[in-house]
Structure 1
Amino acid sequence: MTKPVYNLPPPGPPARFSPDFGRRVLLTVDTEEEFDWEGPFTRDRHGLRHVPRLRNFQEFCEAQEIVPSYLIDWPIANSAVAKDILGDAVARGTAEVGIQLHPWVNPPFDEEVDERNSYAGNLPPDLERAKFLQLRDAIAKNFGANPQLYRAGRYGFGSSTTQLLREAGVGVDTSFRPLFDYRKGHGPDFADYPLEPFWLDGEMSVLELPLTTVYWGMLRRQGRLLYPALSRMPRMRGIAARLGMLERIPLTPEGTTVDDAIRGLDMAIDDGLPLIVLSFHSPSLALGHTPYVETDDDLDALYDWFRAVFAYLGQHGIRPTTVAEIMQSVAV
């Protein structure tokens, strides 16, 4: 099988929103099976034991007046429990569903299972398309919604993905993770992409909503130049962060403390980002499925993180939004 080299599209025009949109925050959930994050990729060694916990999280979001966007992959799309929980929330308008492609568990199974092929963008375009369309159709059938948001699993957006989304009528992507470079593991390089939403094509048919990561510290304005060098020297990177010189802060409860998140939010607010995109993985809703939630205290901390972050954003007039609202508010 020919394995193309990543060639991401350059950023298109920045997105512009209607004046009444203001500044918003979108909560996305990588809604996926449990698997061994340290082990090899497999077709069948995964579980769905955490799925009932989605009900607790959805109830939490509704109490906070947050409409989460659940990015669903193949095992979740075919889970009766997930269908019951999320399908009901979608029908009531208190949740949205989108698409998340994990190629190694998503038919058709025509590729070798390895790290390189875990990025959908490394697959031949016809195979990427076939997997994507099967997943899209399963979500539409089982959850009663036409998904309009996509995230490539492991952020594996490829050179053919924009055209695929355009042809499939999926108008919004959230696969790009600015300030991160995954080339070492055969993935894409997002290091130089903007934090603000932008169009992926000149036709303005596919909107990119990058996951929010910021640089913090006295040298943050030089972060895109300096951080790649620091990333090759973990000890120096830690020293730079402790001295308040330069630190990269992804806005996720997985590995980012509340205090760090607040510092990151201050940077995003200071930079005038029109949209902040938060994310985490659904297996973190139960103990022992990700490195981030291993004890009851860890799980309590995850929920406390969301309480604190949304409260802080609310103090700054930044309200939760939805993909539907974003699509209605963006100017074409």
Structure 2
Amino acid sequence: MPGPDILEPPGKDATAAFREDFGQRFIVTVDTEEEFDWDAPLDRTKHSVVTVPALRKFQQFCEGFGVVPTYLIDYPVACSKFAAEAIGQAVTQGRAEVGVQLHPWVSPPFEEDVTEFNSYAGNLPFDLERAKFRTLHERIEKAFGVAPLIYRAGRYGLGSRTAEILQEFGVAIDTSVRARFDYSGAGGPNYRDHPLSPYWVDKQHTLLELPLTTVYWGPLRQVGNIIYPHLWRAPSVRGVLARTGLLERIPLTPEGITAEEALRGVDVAIDEGLPVLVFSFHSPSLAPGHTPYVRNDDDLDALYDWWRTLFAHLEQRGVKPTSVAEIMSSVKLA
């Protein structure tokens, strides 16, 4: 019997409920991946993993704030001895968690052509998507000694049957849905109508969706999901709306989002009662020169300052850090 279609927006009765003492929390997720040229076509061989040791510094930084980061690991990183050296002990001791991030173009078995369409794992034939996931899942479990319980599709590329694969391998949480974003123009999913609050993918409550947090800010934010999709052909208009404070789309990430913008986004999410705020960024940004967001040492210092500012504000607003383990122990199953 076919499983749930994870691409379909859920019904209202699918919204997940948490214990009253859970309150509002936040989680830091790291797309822990290889370095590659963001401006070049995808390639199976032209990548490196030289930034993996930088995870150690970020891990120590998070521990200073009582934050348990979730590292969503792809195949090249899982194969690097430096990954376990950098964060393995933290994972074993519960100071960090690991999950699966599938970049199909660098994850065996290699049976498909490397194309933009195929870079969304959910576009692959089901058996191939499953085989790639299984290989990566097993590699992560071998490297860290724990079975990963959370998944993010690389490029947010869920497929209609991805939920079946996750359920088969005992994954409890998917966090691939990037609400308020539409990737269908490049062959990917459209998450424009998906909610921000966590929800159950299936009626049996075995797979929880934890969408990445993106909010609209400004006087027009209540109609943001109507206006924003029409602005992709007119980025200058989008810029004018943001600069004038009328409408701004704010994902909770230090990549391309200033601390001031992120603070506004956090306040909107808190005021709307969002139970879990999901932050994300790419691990190659933890060293200069590997992403468009961190080109030099000053950019790297600014990234860490961004996190300091956000962590302090979240504490002031009474929003505590959480983890995959705590989310699963706090969500109501019925």
TM-score range, shorter chain: over 0.9
TM-score normalised by length of structure 1: 0.97
Equivalence map 1:191-230=2 (5 Å): 191-230=192-231
Distance 1:280 1:42 in 2: 21
Q: Which runs of 5+ in 2 are unaligned?
A: none
Give, in whole Å, the separation in 1 of the partners of 2:120 and 2:23. 34
Alignment partner of 1:60 is 2:47: no
Q: Supply the distance in 1 between the matched residues of 2:320 and 2:233 (Cα, whole angstroms).
A: 37
Which residues of 2 match residues 18-167 of structure 1 at below 5 A? 18-167=19-168
Letter of the structure 1 residue corresponding to residue 166 of structure 2: L
State the alpha-carbon separation in 1 of the partners of residues 202 and 233 from structure 2. 33
Distance 2:10 2:311 in 1: 29
Maintained 8 Å contact 2:6/2:162: no
1:10 corresponds to: 9
Give, in whole Å, the separation in 1 of the partners of 2:203 and 2:296. Answer: 47
Give the CA RMSD over aligned residues.
1.1
Percent of pairs with identical residues: 60
Alpha-carbon contact 1:10-1:200 (below 8 Å) kept: no
Q: Deviations over 1:157-206 (max 9, x none)?
A: 11010111111110100000000000111110001110100111112111
Opposite residue 117 of structure 2, the aligned amino acid is R
Cα pair 1:103 1:118 within 8 Å, conserved: yes
**Matching residue's letter, 2:8:** P
Q: SS where residue 71 of structure 2 aligns?
A: strand
Measure how far apart 1:231 and its partner are: 2.6
> Are 1:52 and 1:81, in contact at CA under 8 Å, matched by a contact in 2?
yes
Instruction: Tell me by how many angstroms 1:310 deviates.
Output: 1.0
- Give the Cα–Cα distance (whole angstroms) in 2 for the partners of residues 289 and 185 of structure 1: 23
**C-alpha offsets along residues 134-162 of structure 1, whole Å, 9 cap, x if unaligned?**
10011111101110000000000110101
CA distance in 2, matches of 1:38, 1:307: 30
Runs of 4+ residues deviating >4 angstroms: none
Deviation at 1:320, TM superposition (A): 0.4
Contact 1:9–1:200, Cα closer than 8 Å, also in 2: no
Aligned residues: 327
Q: Give unmatched runs, 5+ long, in structure 1.
A: 1-5
Give me the whole-angstrom Cα distance separating, in 1, the residues matched to 2:309 and 2:9: 35
Amino acid at match of 1:9: E
Contact map agreement 2:6 2:163 (CA 8 A) in 1: no
Is 119-128 or 231-240 further displaced after alignment? 231-240
**Distance (whole Å) between structure 2 residues aligned to residue 179 and residue 269 of structure 1:** 17
Shift of 1:7: 8.1
